[in-house]
Amino acid sequence: MKPHGWIILDKPLELGSTQAVGAVKRNLREAGLLGKGKDKLKVGHGGTLDPLATGVLPIAIGEATKLCGRMLDASKIYEFTIGFGKETETLDVEGAVTEISDHRPTLDDVEAILPQFTGPIEQIPPKYSALKIDGKRAYDLARAGVEVEMKLRGVTIHALSIRHPDSSLCHPELVSGSQEVLKQVQDDEPLEEITLTATVSKGTYIRSLARDIARALNTFGHVTMLRRTKAGPFTLNDAISLDKLNEIGKGADIYEYLLPLEAWLDDIPAFDLNPDQARLLRQGMTLNGQELIGNPAVNGLFLATENQGSPVALAELVDGTVKVVRGFNM
């Protein structure tokens, strides 16, 4: 049986999202699961993570790739450290320093400023980003020395708070110096860095958020650590390491690591269809919503299943009529 679902990778430093997808494909190929030609499984990721970022990277396999667009719309949670005193070209540790300040904020300063960056805000994306400008990636233009105008865009910061340095969500190898930070916080001394937790809408650039917070504190700053701890419903508890992923290619049972396709749809109802209803949806036909098992009364998306849970389609009920949004061939 072909695997359809999600591998949630705890992406390590310096591995790009495309490389992570390649690693999944390689392991599927070595395990004899990838297939060939028309039977070859599709593999894609549900939201890019920078090479210098770590954490939750959902990778869709097979029919789950049809939900990647929905994944891009999901809110996400990040932990990130702002190093104060320097702003860089890339707004992270990789770029050349462009601005310097001797001023350092205190913990009280940071706590006072965070409400200004909570809720709907506008931000200018980094020049070194994957946004397209006149058909070209912004980072390609920036690397070529082309001056580009990055336009303001609206995003929503659902929650923003200071993370305690001993938080178990942070990767141990990424918290060097955290005891010194704790001492500084306790003594209310000027901070060299601060680590924050942010729950954000789609399209939010954490590097831009860090830059703007630092500037609002009358200094400069850049991201020195970035870790995604949640994407949609998926958390670090769902994630596996690259070493675990590589065990699949060596014969480990993929279903020990594969989350089902419907795991991404746990925030919508599911209704089981009879064989005739399932056949009609697979053919792209509409259904009378009143005839559905469970008889949903509210317009909206739902997961149509057959045989007590096998996904048939992501469907939508609109004014009594059920239409297919995404059909699944499983």
Show which residues are catalytic: 50
Q: What distance in Å separates the CA atoms of residue 77 and residue 3, rounded to the nearest whole number?
A: 28
What is the total residue count of the chain? 330
The residue with tokens 């070529």 is 144
The residue with tokens 């699944």 is 328
Mapped onto helix, strand or coil, the DSSP state of residue 10 is strand
Structure token digits, residue 157: 């910061």
Question: Quick one: residue 316, left, alpha or beta (phi over 0 = left, psi -120 to 50 = alpha)?
Answer: beta
Q: What distance in Å separates the CA atoms of residue 25 and residue 214, rounded to the nearest whole number?
A: 40
Helical H segments across the chain, by residue range: 17-30, 68-72, 107-113, 138-143, 178-187, 206-216, 242-248, 275-282
Structure token digits, residue 197: 């937790």
The residue with tokens 């500084």 is 184
The residue with tokens 């390590």 is 12
Specify the amino acid at residue 65: T
**Could you tell me which of 287, 159, 295, 289 has the C-alpha nearest to residue 230?**
159
Give the largest CA-CA distance in the chain.
71
* Gyration radius from the chain CA atoms: 23
Give the distance, in angstroms, between the CA of residue 83 and the centroid of all CA atoms in the same chain: 23
Give the distance, in angstroms, between the CA of residue 303 and the centroid of all CA atoms in the same chain: 22
